């Protein structure tokens, strides 16, 4: 994805090394022309501090977070981050060090110019030369007296990027962009020359300092222009040159989700992979829906079934199994930071945590709609023991300290995938959220109070009807509760969280529906249509807009019934594609043209080991036999090195990616020499039982493959085994084979 950050300033041409005369204001259009070049309060000077000078700081990265825009500034000088506080910047430039940073008597001696051009030592190095227009604009403003703007300065009302989309036939081509800003006084200005151009997907489309897009390899991305608080994007597509593309006749859409996926693949001239084999589908969907591999008996029955609808019938059976609820309860426990004991991120203990986890599990057992599920937690109150969902307000805060700002940030991220934290101190640099949006949203949670209940382990959550709204950081003015990007609801003395919960979970609020549907999709494909799933912003758009919107529409159409949407997903042609790639989709990681090979989560991997060997996990701090997915508090806190080693979430944040599925050397070493697999195989007794029953060597080997990998062994694999073990294998030979199968990437990864 390519990001283009336009500056909140003028349309002056700042092409370094190509200086020209300063353009006159009369060159601006529409209302500017009609009024003879002056609108609003007439300017006494040609240059505006806000429109002409501050953009130079942005373009040179002076007011970025890594330079003078940092909270403490840099080298004794501070600018507001991305220029959100123009008045403060003007004061610090002209008043804090009179005659030094800005010297109106001798402009060339201004420290501002000397440091920027490298004439005196500067941590940031040389930013521009004396013959650049950056220098000319700053020097001219100082020469004119370094005067601040008059009272009325036109505001930016929007921007547009031209062209609206780009399609390249092959790489190696170039095409320029143009960024146009509109002002409240009717002017429009070409901002291209004052734009910062960035790219985070340079392989598909890079962009140079002049705003020229350079096409790379085949793919789709987005280019964004940011000016002031507005961000607008265009789609960029790079097609293979001279490609004789044909859509496979056997790639047929089964539902509207497939239609959206296949239409995007056709536009990119990407062929999807073939349909996966039965064994591949059986293992994939069983692990996805119930968090366990299929048993040998299930594998034999499914592979022998010749009916055309067997996959759909399998899905229906799996969705009704109790393990389905355990899988989703475990995932939501990660997302709401569910933890107990002294390790709790929310200052509660095991009794509250267990009750909350059981409540979450019950919701998925009953298939409670997602809107109801979230609404009950957002509006929860009362005893954390008697009303377990009220632990929503003890788990999400950090270290037991309730902070309405933190609560607002986490609710926005959890329910709508929006990260608003940046807007606490300044307008969001890469999204539309302002400080006003931030503090208006925080006001929904300023009335929440917690007090100790009658029991030591109990909290009582309630809303203080006398609560006061959040105060804006800049001027301390009260900010009435306001929906993100929406209106201010009429509270009238009621708990404002009720109005918030109704708005968040409304079928009309596509932020919620799309975010929830995208989370669900990601669980079955290893990535969301927007990735990360809890970072939905203008500058992180969907890889397939039509699919993203259709997922949200389907969830709403199903009344937020998660099971119905899941059934559509796992019976789709897209979900059933093989992981084997072809020449056209080999490099695709975003358009779902093939199944992505993905490692099992730590919880699923441990439960798979226990299920395949028939040896349950014993927990050091929890009596009884439970699968990892049934544990409210998994990981090292329950004595499981395996879960910690394989990246189980520590539940310290609501980040959906907090469980780490990256393979590591420590995982390999644990599988080879640790006790998780080795000791289970030794005590299992399964192989000994088969041998005592007189099973043939061929039958034992076949059973081990079906039990572990849900497939028959290949001829090459059999040849290796017989060569190593001989015609009459001993129990130790079978155990070594089983150990090898369970240590393989095929066992630990879904295909």
**pLDDT tens figures, 436-480:** 899 999 999 999 998 888 888 888 999 987 778 999 987 899 999
Q: How many CB atoms lie within 10 A of CB 340?
A: 23
Angle of the 675-684 helix axis to the 731-742 helix axis, nearest 10: 140
| pLDDT tens for each residue of 166-181 | 999 988 999 999 988 8
Beta strands 219-227 and 2-6: pairing type? parallel
Q: How far apart are CA 404 and CA 445, in angstroms?
A: 5
What is the total count of domains within the chain?
3
Q: Is residue 417 part of a domain?
A: yes
| pLDDT tens for each residue of 243-274 | 788 999 999 999 999 999 999 999 999 999 99
Q: Which of 469, 504, 539 is the last residue of a domain?
A: 504
280, 298, 702 from 706: Cα distances, Å: 11, 9, 6
Least reliable range by pLDDT among 8-17, 330-339, 574-583, 724-733: 8-17
Q: Is residue 263 part of a domain?
A: no
67, 201, 211, 516 from 6: Cα distances, Å: 18, 18, 10, 32
Q: Which of these, 62, 59, 79, lies nearest to 7 by C-alpha position?
A: 59
Q: Is the pLDDT of residue 11 over 70?
A: no
| pLDDT tens for each residue of 323-373 | 999 999 999 999 998 887 644 444 567 888 899 999 999 999 999 999 999
- Dihedral angle computed from the Cα positions of residues 296, 299, 303 and 308, in that order, rounded to the nearest 10 degrees: 150
Q: Could you tell me the residue range of the domain that residue 462 belongs to?
A: 342-359+372-504
Q: Which of these, 475, 452, 449, lies nearest to 462 by C-alpha position?
A: 449
Q: Is the pLDDT of residue 23 over 80?
A: no
Give the pLDDT band (50/70/90) at residue 286.
very high
In the structure encoding, which two tokens stand for residue 470, read together?
A: 């959040």
Estimate to the nearest angstrom the gap between the alpha carbon of 697 and the chain centroid: 49
Q: Is the pLDDT of residue 306 over 90?
A: yes
Q: Is residue 427 part of a domain?
A: yes
Q: Which of these, 434, 485, 535, 538, lies nearest to 156 by C-alpha position?
A: 434
Q: Which of these, 727, 705, 703, lies nearest to 714 by C-alpha position?
A: 705
540: left (phi over 0), alpha (psi -120 to 50) or beta: beta
Higher-confidence position of 379 and 57 = 379
| pLDDT tens for each residue of 563-572 | 999 999 999 9
Are 420 and 511 in contact by the 8 Å Cβ rule? The answer is no
Higher-confidence position of 194 and 286 = 286
Position 150 scores a pLDDT of 76
Beta strands 165-169 and 230-239: pairing type? parallel
Higher-confidence position of 505 and 232 = 505
Position 15 scores a pLDDT of 32
DSSP reduced 3-state for 600: coil
Give the pLDDT band (50/70/90) at residue 71.
confident
| pLDDT tens for each residue of 508-555 | 999 999 999 999 999 999 999 999 999 998 889 999 999 999 999 999
Q: How far apart are CA 634 and CA 629, in angstroms?
A: 8
Q: Is residue 488 part of a domain?
A: yes
240-255: b (≥16 Cβ within 10 Å) or e? beeeeeeeeeebeeeb
Average pLDDT (295-315) is 97
DSSP reduced 3-state for 161: strand
Q: Is the pLDDT of residue 16 over 90?
A: no
Q: How far apart are CA 409 and CA 411, in angstroms?
A: 6
Q: Name 745's Cβ contacts closer than 8 Å, sequence gap at least 6.
A: none
Position 39 scores a pLDDT of 30
Give the pLDDT band (50/70/90) at residue 81.
confident
Q: How far apart are CA 701 and CA 695, in angstroms?
A: 10
Position 342 scores a pLDDT of 45
Are 215 and 238 in contact by the 8 Å Cβ rule? The answer is yes
Percent residues over pLDDT 90 in the chain: 60
Average pLDDT (32-61) is 62
Q: How far apart are CA 314 and CA 320, in angstroms?
A: 10
Rg (CA), the chain: 30
615, 618, 669, 683, 739 from 678: Cα distances, Å: 11, 15, 12, 9, 7
Q: Round the average pLDDT of the chain to a whole number and report it.
A: 87
> Would you say how long the chain is, in residues?
751
| pLDDT tens for each residue of 120-158 | 999 889 998 999 888 999 999 999 999 998 767 888 888
Q: Which of 504, 524, 555 is the last residue of a domain?
A: 504
End-to-end CA distance of the chain: 27
Which pTM does this prediction carry?
Answer: 0.87
Are 485 and 536 in contact by the 8 Å Cβ rule? The answer is no
449, 494, 514 from 264: Cα distances, Å: 49, 47, 19
Position 400 scores a pLDDT of 65
Beta strands in 165-266 (DSSP E): 165-169, 174-176, 178-183, 188-190, 195-199, 205-207, 212-215, 219-227, 230-239
Estimate to the nearest angstrom the gap between the alpha carbon of 235 and the chain centroid: 20
Q: Name 177's Cβ contacts closer than 8 Å, sequence gap at least 6.
A: 4, 161, 162, 163, 192, 207, 211, 212, 213, 223, 225, 234
Are 409 and 439 in contact by the 8 Å Cβ rule? The answer is no
Q: Which of these, 599, 602, 595, lies nearest to 525 by C-alpha position?
A: 595
Q: Is the pLDDT of residue 201 over 90?
A: no
Least reliable range by pLDDT among 255-259, 432-436, 555-559: 432-436
DSSP category for residue 119: S
Are 314 and 285 in contact by the 8 Å Cβ rule? The answer is yes
Q: Is the pLDDT of residue 386 over 90?
A: yes
Percent residues over pLDDT 70 in the chain: 91
φ and ψ at residue 223, rounded to 5 degrees: -115, 135
Position 54 scores a pLDDT of 87
Q: Is the pLDDT of residue 106 over 60?
A: yes
Q: Is the pLDDT of residue 277 over 80?
A: yes
What proportions of the chain, in percent to the nearest 5, are helix, strand and coil? 40, 10, 45
Q: Is residue 292 part of a domain?
A: no
Q: How far apart are CA 617 and CA 635, in angstroms?
A: 12
φ and ψ at residue 155, rounded to 5 degrees: -100, 150
Position 429 scores a pLDDT of 67
Q: How far apart are CA 582 and CA 575, in angstroms?
A: 17
Are 64 and 71 in contact by the 8 Å Cβ rule? The answer is no
- Give strand pairing partners of 478: 471
Q: How far apart are CA 318 and CA 324, in angstroms?
A: 7
DSSP reduced 3-state for 158: strand
416, 538, 556, 740 from 413: Cα distances, Å: 6, 15, 20, 42
Q: Is residue 127 part of a domain?
A: yes
Least reliable range by pLDDT among 332-336, 344-348, 579-583, 652-656: 344-348
Burial class, 648, CB count within 10 angstroms (exposed 0-12 / middle 13-18 / buried 19+): buried
Q: Is residue 577 part of a domain?
A: no
Position 85 scores a pLDDT of 83
Are 317 and 295 in contact by the 8 Å Cβ rule? The answer is no
Q: Which of 478, 504, 530 is the last residue of a domain?
A: 504
Q: Is residue 77 part of a domain?
A: yes
Higher-confidence position of 24 and 594 = 594
Select, from the ranges 61-70, 85-94, 354-363, 463-472, the one with the highest average predicted confidence (pLDDT): 354-363
Q: How far apart are CA 428 and CA 430, in angstroms?
A: 6
């Amino acid at each position: 994805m390519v990001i283009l950050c336009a500056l909140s300033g003028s349309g002056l041409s700042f092409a370094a090394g190509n200086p020209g005369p300063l353009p006159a204001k009369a060159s601006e259009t529409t209302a500017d022309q009609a009024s003879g070049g002056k609108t609003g309060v007439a300017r006494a000077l040609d240059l505006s501090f806000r429109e002409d000078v501050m953009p130079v700081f942005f373009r040179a990265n002076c007011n970025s977070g890594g330079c003078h825009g940092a909270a403490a500034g840099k080298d004794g000088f501070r600018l507001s981050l991305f220029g959100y506080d123009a008045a403060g910047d003007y004061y610090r430039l002209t008043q804090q060090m009179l005659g030094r940073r800005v010297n109106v008597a001798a402009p060339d001696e201004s420290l501002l110019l000397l440091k920027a051009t490298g004439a005196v030592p500067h941590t940031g190095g040389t930013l521009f030369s004396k013959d650049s227009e950056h220098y000319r604009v700053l020097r001219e403003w100082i020469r004119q007296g370094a005067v601040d703007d008059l009272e009325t300065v036109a505001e930016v009302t929007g921007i547009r990027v031209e062209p609206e989309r780009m399609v390249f036939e092959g790489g190696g081509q170039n095409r320029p962009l143009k960024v146009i800003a509109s002002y409240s006084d009717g002017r429009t200005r070409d901002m291209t020359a004052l734009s910062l151009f960035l790219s985070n997907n340079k392989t598909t489309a890079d962009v140079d300092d002049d705003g020229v897009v350079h096409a790379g390899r085949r793919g789709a991305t987005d280019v964004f222009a940011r000016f002031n608080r507005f961000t607008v994007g265009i789609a960029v597509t790079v097609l293979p040159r001279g490609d004789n593309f044909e859509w496979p006749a056997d790639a047929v859409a089964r539902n509207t989700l497939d239609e959206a996926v296949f239409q995007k693949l056709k536009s990119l001239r990407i062929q999807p992979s073939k349909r996966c084999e039965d064994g591949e589908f059986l293992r994939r969907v069983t692990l996805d829906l119930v968090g366990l591999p299929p048993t040998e008996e299930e594998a034999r029955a499914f592979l022998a079934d010749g009916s055309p609808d067997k996959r759909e019938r399998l899905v229906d059976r799996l969705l009704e199994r109790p393990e389905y609820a355990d899988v989703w309860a475990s995932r939501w426990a990660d997302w709401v930071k569910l933890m107990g004991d002294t390790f709790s991120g929310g200052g509660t203990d095991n009794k509250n945590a267990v009750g909350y986890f059981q409540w979450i599990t019950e919701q998925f057992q009953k298939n409670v709609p997602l809107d109801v599920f979230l609404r009950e937690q957002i509006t929860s109150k009362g005893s954390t023991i008697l009303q377990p969902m009220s632990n929503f307000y003890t788990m999400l805060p950090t270290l037991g300290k309730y902070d309405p700002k933190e609560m607002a940030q986490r609710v926005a991220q959890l329910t709508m995938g929006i990260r608003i934290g940046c807007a606490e101190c300044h307008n969001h640099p890469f999204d539309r959220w302002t400080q006003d949006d931030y503090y208006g949203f925080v006001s929904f949670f300023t009335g929440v109070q917690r007090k100790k209940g009658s029991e030591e382990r109990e909290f009582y959550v309630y809303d203080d009807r006398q609560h006061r709204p959040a105060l804006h950081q800049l001027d301390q003015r009260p900010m009435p509760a306001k929906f993100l990007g929406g209106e201010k609801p009429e509270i009238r003395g009621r708990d404002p969280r009720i109005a918030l919960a109704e708005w968040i979970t409304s079928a009309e609020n596509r932020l919620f529906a799309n975010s929830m549907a995208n989370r669900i999709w990601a669980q079955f494909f290893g990535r969301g249509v927007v990735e990360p799933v809890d970072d939905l912003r203008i500058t992180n758009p969907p890889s397939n807009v039509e699919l993203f919107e259709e997922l949200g529409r389907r969830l709403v159409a199903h009344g937020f019934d998660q099971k119905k949407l899941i059934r559509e997903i796992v019976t789709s042609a897209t979900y059933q594609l093989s992981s084997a790639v072809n020449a056209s989709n080999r490099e695709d990681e975003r358009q779902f043209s093939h199944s992505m090979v993905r490692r099992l989560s730590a919880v699923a991997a441990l439960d798979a080991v226990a299920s395949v060997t028939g040896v349950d996990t014993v927990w050091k701090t929890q009596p009884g036999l439970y699968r990892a997915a049934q544990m409210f508090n998994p990981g090292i806190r329950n004595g499981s090195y395996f879960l910690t080693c394989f990246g189980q979430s520590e539940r310290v944040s609501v980040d959906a990616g907090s469980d780490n599925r990256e393979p590591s050397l420590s995982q390999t070493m644990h599988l080879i020499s640790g006790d998780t697999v080795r000791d289970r195989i030794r005590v299992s007794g399964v192989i000994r039982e088969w041998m005592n029953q007189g099973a043939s060597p061929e039958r034992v080997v076949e059973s081990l493959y079906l039990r572990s990998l849900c497939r028959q062994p290949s001829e090459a694999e059999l040849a290796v085994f017989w060569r190593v073990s001989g015609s009459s294998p001993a129990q130790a030979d079978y155990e070594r084979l089983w150990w090898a199968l369970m240590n393989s990437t095929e066992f630990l990864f879904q295909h």
